[in-house]
Structures are given as structure tokens and as C-alpha cells.
Structure 1
Amino acid sequence: MNDVVIRPLRFTADVQAMRQFLETLGLAPRVEGEQGSWVDMVAGDGMVALHDAASSSTGGKHGDTRLSFEAEDIDRLRDRLVAAGHEDATTWDEAYGRVLSVTAPGGLVIWIDERSEDLYGYKLHRTPPDPRLTVAPHLSGATPDWTPFLEFLGVRQPVALDQAGDFAVRLDFRTTETLTGVAARLQAAGYSAELDGTTIHITDPDGQPVRVHG
């Protein structure tokens, strides 16, 4: 099983503020850069990556969220993609590890990082995340062929597709914790959080909307 984990990538002007927000939700840091410009946050299922927007080499702007992934074996995944007709699937080495890129539906190029035990100078954390929380991003402007594409990659985490508008990624989560408990914890920490039926509506420290679904 070549487990592929979805990992929305948020570019932010304040990595620490976003990290504290995600920790309040129940995520925990796994790997972070020594200078604090990057941190991978894990949920019970799925991940969110935070990257300092000012040091982005790919043009990431404050508040932007991009779609990225992590996989156990990107060589095997590349071979499967090429065999299925994704001839542009390519792997290469970056300073932090190995990466696969491939064109997804709609012409969007996505990156899939290979999971590695070599920390490349990064700091490892072992704090467990809340097992009740799942990363479940919302994709706007996503055509229906995203569903079979994500299934082919092997992504288990739920992804909501909305065909309206331009392509965009919103940080959404699902939890088996009571939503009243989640909302109370967020409000006590000073975050704008409103419970509306089976969904909590939040504005995160970057000023972006976040949803937590029951």
C-alpha cells in the first residue's frame, strides 16, 4: 500500500500564529525548520503544512493555500501515473527531500513529497495529534474528474469538490468531537468561531475562512 496523504500548504506571514491556531483545533507539529519558516502539522488523519510567505521561492502569498501531498514511495507512484497516461510525472531531489510532480485535472501541477526518515536538518516532534480530527480540504473550481484522480493516487482523506469559481483550496476539517466543545475551545482562545448546525465557521489568523464539520 503506497499511502498518499493530502497536505494543504498554507503560505502565511505568521507561521507561529497559524501553528497555535491549528494546535487549538487539535493538530500537532511533526517536522519544522530550524528557522521557523516551515512546519508540518498532523491531524488524526491528514496534514497541513505552513510556510513563511516571505521566504517562498514559488511566489506563495500571505493567505494562499495550495494543494500538496506526501507519499511513502514516489518512484512507484510515478510509474503508476505514467502507466495510466500521466507522462509528465517526474521525480527529483530538493534540499529537503525527494519530490514528484504531475499535472492534475484542469492543468494544475501538484507536488507530492516523499516521506523520509532523514530530517535534512529539520526538527522532529513526537506530540500526538487529536485522533478525532481529519483534514478534509474544500476545492473550489474542481471538476468531477478530481474524484477518480484522487482515488487513483490513493488519497483516503475526504475532499469536498465545488465546481463554482476559480480553483482554490480552503482548509476544512472533520471531527468526531462535539462541535460545541470545539467551538468553545476556539472562542476561549480568542478565535472567531460560530457554530451553525453541523459546521463551525472560523476566521483563521491569516484572515481566511476555515470550516470544521461534525
Structure 2
Amino acid sequence: MNDVVMRPLRFTADVDAMRAFLETLGLRSRIESERGGWVDMLTGRGMVALHDAASSSTGGQPGQTRLSFEAEKIDELRDRLEQVGFVDATVFDEAYGRVLSVTAPDSVVIWVDERAEDMYGYKVHDVRPDDRWSVTPYLTGAEEPAWRRFLEGVGATVRFGPDDGEFAVRLDLSTTEDLDDVQARLDNYQVTRTAAGLEIVDPDGQLVVVHG
């Protein structure tokens, strides 16, 4: 994996249903909590984390997606962010490991988990990601120039939509797999084919776009 990995965090009312949906698309489950309520899933580039909204300590609502990351060395990432002007980047310890917190543009607080070695309380699956798939979050209500500066410091890229309204993150994915093959797997979901790709209503009732 790269030093810093894009890992959008989806708060969901049904972790199992969202996990099944993402696995149908082509993602692979990597780590899950033995108590349930958390799973992170791999693509060839980037990850998606699922968190039970009912047990969220930060007010995450069902269907809400937040931008987050996982990094190998968060102290080095903190230094990089400080160099590009994000001087409140702070590293601290949580019960599950070390975390970096930083205020990104539009006053959005971003969390970066340090890649953990102690997997006590978690199940680890030995899986290979499908290299045809990548995570490409779609930001709306974002001040694009400022976000590009932030993302350059992190070493990540996203898609940008309209900059009006409140800041929001949509869980978009990109693939080199034939979209006809992808759509054929999605009989149990509402799917619309558009010029952008496949527009799918996920189990949380949210739109996910798969770009070809």
C-alpha cells in the first residue's frame, strides 16, 4: 500500500448490507471488528470503511460519508501538512491506536488512522484487492483550490462537483472492469446507466456512482 491511503468512512444503519453491496461491486473485506460494527474494504487504490451509525461516538448519521485516511507514518504526514499551511495537525493516542487530526478547508476535520500492527479484537482477512477498482470520492460544497492544496499534502486525489451548498462527500468508485459486467451483478439494486457510468442506490439509500 502507499504511505497514505484514501479511506472514506461511511456511517451506515446496516453494516452487513453495505458490506455485501461493496463486495458485489468488487471490493474485498480486509479487517472487521470481532464485535461487529466496523469493517474496512480494499480496492486496488484506496479503501472504504463502514461504521455502524448507532454506535458512532462522533454523531455519524446513517448514509453519511466522511473523508478519512489511513497512513503508515502519521508523524511524517503531520510534518508535510504543516509545511503546506495546516498547522493544527495533531497526533494523539486513541484506544484503537494513534490518530492524526487536522482541520481541512471549509472547516472540515479530517482523521487519519495510523496503520495498526496490533489486531487484538479484529479479524484480519488475507485478501488481494482487485486492481481494476479504485476509490474516487466526489466532493460538493468544497473550495476546490484550497482542497487541492490540502490533498497534495496528503498525497490523494478526489473528484469535485458544484462548490455551492454545504460540504458533502459522495462515495464514488472507478473501475477498468467492463461496466456491463458490473451491472450484471447488481440485479438486487436500483441501477441507472448514464454518461458518467453507473448510478446505484446503495442499502443506505445513497447514490454511489461507478465511473468507467
Interval of TM-score (by shorter of Structure 1 and Structure 2)? over 0.9
2:191 equivalent to 1:193: yes
Which residue is equivalent to 1:53? 53
2:84 equivalent to 1:84: yes
- Compute the RMSD of aligned alpha carbons: 1.5
Which residue is equivalent to 1:161? 160
What percentage of residue pairs aligned between the two structures are identical? 64
Residues 85-104 of structure 1 mapped to structure 2, 5 A cutoff: 85-104=85-104
Aligned-partner Cα distance in 1 for 2:2–2:198:
33
Shift of 1:79: 2.0
Aligned-partner Cα distance in 2 for 1:84–1:4:
16
5+ residue gaps, structure 2: none
Checking the alignment, whether the CA contact within 8 Å between 2:84 and 2:150 is kept in structure 1 is: no
Shift of 1:86: 2.1
Aligned-partner Cα distance in 2 for 1:81–1:2:
17
Checking the alignment, whether the CA contact within 8 Å between 1:2 and 1:73 is kept in structure 2 is: no
Shift of 1:152: 1.5
Aligned-partner Cα distance in 2 for 1:147–1:164:
17
5+ residue gaps, structure 1: none
Aligned-partner Cα distance in 2 for 1:176–1:54:
35
TM-score by length of structure 1 reads 0.94
Aligned partner letter, 1:141: G
Which residue is equivalent to 2:142? 142
Checking the alignment, whether the CA contact within 8 Å between 2:39 and 2:50 is kept in structure 1 is: yes
Checking the alignment, whether the CA contact within 8 Å between 1:74 and 1:91 is kept in structure 2 is: yes
- 1:186 alignment partner, SS class: coil
**CA distances 1:120-140 after superposition (whole Å, capped 9, x unpaired):** 321101122321011001011
Aligned-partner Cα distance in 2 for 1:110–1:11:
15
Checking the alignment, whether the CA contact within 8 Å between 1:101 and 1:109 is kept in structure 2 is: yes
Runs of 4+ in 1 over 6 A off after TM superposition: none
**CA distances 1:51-74 after superposition (whole Å, capped 9, x unpaired):** 001111111111111110111100
User: How many corresponding residue pairs?
Assistant: 210
